[in-house]
Amino acid sequence: MKFSANPRVLGIGNALVDIMTQLNEDTLIEELGLLKGSMTLVDTEQSKKIQESTKNLKKELAAGGSSANTMNGLANLGAEVGFVGVIGRDELGNFFKKDLENNKVIPHLKVTNTDSGRAVALISPDSERTFATYLGAAIEFTSEDMHPELFNGYSLVHVEGYLVQNHELIEAALKMAHDIGLKVAIDLASFNVVEANLPFLEKLIRNYVDIVFANEQEAKAFTGLEPEEALEELAMMCKIAVVKVGPKGALIRHGSEVVKIHAIDAVRRDTTGAGDLFASGFLFGLINGFSLEKCGQIGSVLAGNVIEVIGAKMDKERWEKIIARVNDILKT
């Protein structure tokens, strides 16, 4: 896949602030009616109930949302990136915008009077995370907010599958990017989201998508198959298919070329952002013309590092080590 001489990446997704909440045990997940490891959309009432139930637990705030996390990772690797989303005129909205700017992500944000979206991430003792997401202002992101000028100067668009809650919006975004001639990548988001939108997602991928990212559960929800067979089926619908298999690494397919990527050694603390940051590393390699193997290796380095911290953000010192390791990969 060829890109322009100075490729830039645009992320489109739900602008959310992650509320990283550490659980002492998993019973609260069941009490709240959530499915462990999933992302569940909640209304205002359920959101308040969750916040009340977790008020005495240790929490950290972080600007999040799947595509925004991927853009953050790309920016820290040195790529030029932007992000499109909707925030509210409130403290969380300001927090989200400043986080983008501080990480050198160009914000293309619509601002409304609705409360900004937030995702309560319940982190289990085994490091698995369960999201209860209140979309808030993010739900006011519509197809009318998509216009060709947004894509000026970009060569690749990365869209999170969570936007599938608005069929008209996500199809408008992917079709517009595809028709303009940009490469299009999509992350399938969560297995329950895939299950609820299967025929529509298949239509999007076949018609508009070049690169698909899915974890093992999402790939099975989409195809009904185990990772290697799921990879083959996905690759028949797009140019590049990536199936992430957690501690086993990842599988990549482009045409008849299949690449297996090993996960790096890491101490798993929180899996939030692992898939998003894998996409950061993979796309960074892709826009710079690296081999699929190197793209996957860079993705593995980022994913392995982010699971060692709480949330999807990493400090400057860790990023310096990541970049040094990426440079070592490129020398081989």
So where are the chain's domains?
8-15+65-116+141-331
Give the pLDDT band of residue 39 (cuts 50, 70, 90): confident
CA distance 70 to 63: 12
- Class of the CATH-defined domain 8-15+65-116+141-331: alpha beta
What is the predicted pLDDT for the residue at 288? 94
The answer to whether residue 14 scores a pLDDT higher than 80 is: yes
What secondary structure letter does DSSP report for 32?
T
pLDDT tens column, 256-283: 999 999 999 999 988 889 999 999 999 9
CA distance 283 to 265: 22
Q: Which position has the higher pLDDT, 2 or 170?
A: 170
Farthest CA pair distance, the chain: 54
Give the β-pairing of 250-254 and 16-22: unpaired
Q: Please tell me the pTM assigned to this model.
A: 0.90
What is the predicted pLDDT for the residue at 5? 53
pLDDT tens column, 142-158: 999 999 999 999 999 99
What secondary structure letter does DSSP report for 314?
-
C-beta of residue 13 within 8 angstroms of C-beta of residue 159: yes
Q: Which residue type sits at 223?
A: T
Give the β-pairing of 59-64 and 16-22: antiparallel
Which segments of 181-270 does DSSP mark as H helices, in order? 191-196, 198-208, 216-223, 227-235
Question: Any residues with CB less than 8 A from the CB of 86 and at least 6 apart, and which?
Answer: 15, 109, 110, 111, 112, 137, 138, 140, 141, 145
What is the predicted pLDDT for the residue at 20? 87
The answer to whether residue 209 scores a pLDDT higher than 90 is: yes
The answer to whether residue 331 scores a pLDDT higher than 80 is: yes
What is the predicted pLDDT for the residue at 2? 61
CA distance 290 to 100: 27
| CB atoms inside a 10 Å sphere around CB 280 | 31
Of 207, 197, 191, 195, the closest CA to residue 275 belongs to 191
Sign of the dihedral through C-alpha 61, 67, 69, 72? negative
The answer to whether residue 232 scores a pLDDT higher than 70 is: yes
pLDDT tens column, 41-70: 899 899 889 989 999 999 888 888 899 999
What percentage of the chain reaches a pLDDT higher than 90? 81
Q: Specify which residues 325 forms β-bridges with.
A: none
